[in-house]
A and B are shown apart, each in its own frame.
Chain A
Amino acid sequence: MKYIKLYFQYAKLSIMSKLSYKSNTIIGIAAFLFTEITSILTLFIIVSQVPSLEGWNMYQIGLLYGITNLAIGLDHLFTDKLWNVAYFEVRSGTMDSLFLRPIPVLFQTIALEIQLEALGEILTAIFLIIFCSCNLSLIVTFESVLLLVVGIIGAALLITSFKIIIASMAFAFKRTGPFLQIVYNFSNYSKYPLTIFPKIIRFAFTFLIPLGLCVFFPVTNLFNPSSIGINPYLLVAIIIVVTAIILTLAILIWSKFAKRYESTGS
């Protein structure tokens, strides 16, 4: 309870700070918005060369892309500070003040920043989802929507978990930012229908980095439920269990590595 209250207090201060640089925040949001628009345009330009891509038409691909980006955007909005940890905060010793407080460092790291720039990503994702949905006849039932919502949240938490794991390694190795970048770039693959990739990558996205599990199957379920070959409710349960396990693991790894945090000398 204390932590929920504290989180909102942190969030309030973070938003107040952001708003004290109004023009910067607006430029930031606009920049992300614009970047997203150009990459969506690129996607459509490429895909429009062929009538369908492994059975997926342009709007279906757009929907998948939008849903994945929504998850990525949500993670970006709430946990952006982890990037700083992986890149320079451990190295420069600026995390000292967090370690001097009697509350968990991971909580503080995440609570310290609400990255409003992510709104640019989230807004384009929502727009893309609506636009593509209007051009598709989707099967909207309780279970398909539930699966989708759980999938999006699951995917966002999974991304956060992997970020936590890699950021926490910075406590031991000082700088793991580039490595985080690699995982981030790799996770971009999950914006596309898994079926276009070779088996090994499909396998990775279903079992190793189960983003595909959280996004690809729920989206497929919206227009071709028979092809996923698994009961939606069972899939919901699997997503929840898998996400919970990986998130717990991430927090454990973080607390293990955080014990190794050292300030810089002098």
Chain B
Amino acid sequence: MALIEVKNLSKTFKKPIRGNGLLSMIKTLFSRKYENIEAVKDVSFSIEQGEIVGYIGANGAGKSTTIKMMCGILFPTEGEIIIDQKSVLKHRKEINQEIGVVFGQKTQLWWDIPLIETFKILKAIYSVSDEDYKERFNYLSELLDLKSFMNQNVRSLSLGQRMRADFAASLIHNPKILYLDEPTIGLDVLVKDKIRKAIKELNHHYNTTVILTTHDMKDIEELCNRIIIIDKGSILYDGNLEDIKFQFGNIKNIVFPRFEGFDENKIKEFNDKINIEVDENIKLSFSLNDVNMDALLLMLIGEYKINDFKIFDIGIEEITKELYAKNEETKK
């Protein structure tokens, strides 16, 4: 039995229709019209203990709505969520003991008092035993480097410090599942790195199941062995990151600075399945299934004396874009 099972989940919001004009504002005093917005449509998936799953999609795709329903603070219009064989709606309190949540933009820390106090009260709230608390507290403050600001007021912490603290706070009761909603939003590269390392380490150490939403594709590429892509409330893709890359034909990109005397036709002569984009840089993208990359590189070096180039895989961003496009096409 999977740890989390989401079955045919749908959520429809009623949104009042509001006009802008003065007259329509006076009208809303007396009556209101609503429109229905389907934020999540018939979503199903299951997640095993210990997985790290990236839940991605554009703004308003329905990510946060799904996560909130999985936490039990938003009710599905249809469908159900079962965690540890318990329905989330019926056993909210028991489920709460099993989950930790970090919403990137809202902190759960007590704002005006030293950080350490938040941990103390969370210990009491979750009835964590003294030994467990000690073990985890030391582990987490080591892992996330919290010691130096443990006695500072939360409101005086930097965003990065606060995020790390929030992250630790959501783990002090050793939840089976950790939901991270945009955990790296607005952070600088170093802090992002630290948080990613911590997520990996933690998943390894406690076998915590992690579900994260993000806009940062590096988060996904470094952390997730599985991704679920959602768009306009429906799942577009659910599976392995490598698989989807393969599905998109092992696409590679080669980029080098533009120079005088570059001739597109020569490349086309070499292989007409290479896609060429020219702006400040020249970008060649192609599938390994069609093109022999070694030969191409040799040609580029031999013919043009290029020695300053970069090779990289297709990004998840491009995949998502392609998926959206494909989805639109099939709709038509």
Contacts and interface: CB of A to CB of B under 8 A. Distances in A.
Q: Decide if A and B touch, CB cutoff 8 A.
A: yes
Interface of A: 2, 5-6, 9-10, 13, 16-17, 20-21, 94, 96-97, 99-103, 261-263, 265-266
A101 B127 CA distance: 11
Contact of A266 (B64, B92, B97, B112): B64
A121 to B, nearest CB: 23
Interface in B165-220: none
A262 B97 CA distance: 19
A92 to B, nearest CB: 11
A20 B101 contact: no
B124 interface: yes
A96 B112 contact: no
Most buried by A among B60, B74, B94, B101: B74
A100 B101 contact: yes
Contacts of A21: 112
Given A99-B92, A102-B126, A9 B120 contact: yes
B72 interface: yes
13 contacts: A9-B121, A94-B106, A96-B71, A96-B103, A96-B106, A97-B108, A100-B73, A101-B96, A102-B97, A102-B125, A102-B126, A263-B74, A266-B65
Contacts of A2: 124, 127
Given A17-B110, A265-B13, A102 B73 contact: no
Nearest to A265: B13
Contact of A102 (B37, B96, B103, B117): B96
Contacts of A101: 96, 125-126
A266 B92 CA distance: 21
A17 B112 contact: yes
A16 B65 CA distance: 35
A262 B11 CA distance: 12
A101 B92 CA distance: 9
Given A17-B113, A97-B108, A263-B68, A102 B121 contact: no
B99 interface: yes
Given A263-B73, A266-B65, A13 B127 contact: no
A6 B94 CA distance: 18
What's the dominant secondary structure at chain B's contact region? mixed
B244 to A, nearest CB: 26
Nearest to A98: B73
Among B13, B108, B113, residue most surrounded by chain A Cβ atoms (within 10 Å): B113
A6 B113 contact: no
A20 B112 contact: yes
Interface string B54-77: 000000100011001001111100
Given A17-B110, A21-B112, A96 B73 contact: yes
B71 to A, nearest CB: 6
A16 B124 contact: no
Contacts of A261: 73
Contacts of B64: 265-266
B96 A5 contact: no
A103 B127 CA distance: 10
A102 B112 CA distance: 23
Contacts of A262: 73-75
A10 B112 contact: no
Nearest to B153: A20
Given A16-B117, A102-B126, A263-B68, 15 more contacts: A2-B127, A6-B124, A9-B121, A10-B121, A17-B112, A99-B92, A100-B96, A100-B108, A102-B93, A102-B96, A103-B93, A263-B73, A263-B74, A265-B65, A266-B60
B112 A103 contact: no
Q: Which 6 A-B pairs have the closest CB atoms?
A: A17-B112, A102-B96, A263-B73, A102-B97, A20-B112, A16-B113
Contacts of B111: 17
Nearest to A6: B124
B39 interface: yes
A231 B37 CA distance: 62
Contacts of B124: 2, 5-6, 9
A6 B112 contact: no
B28 to A, nearest CB: 15
A13 B73 contact: no
Nearest to B122: A101
Nearest to A5: B124
B177 to A, nearest CB: 12
Contacts of A263: 68, 73-74
Contacts of A16: 112-113, 117
B185 to A, nearest CB: 14
B81 to A, nearest CB: 14
B115 to A, nearest CB: 12
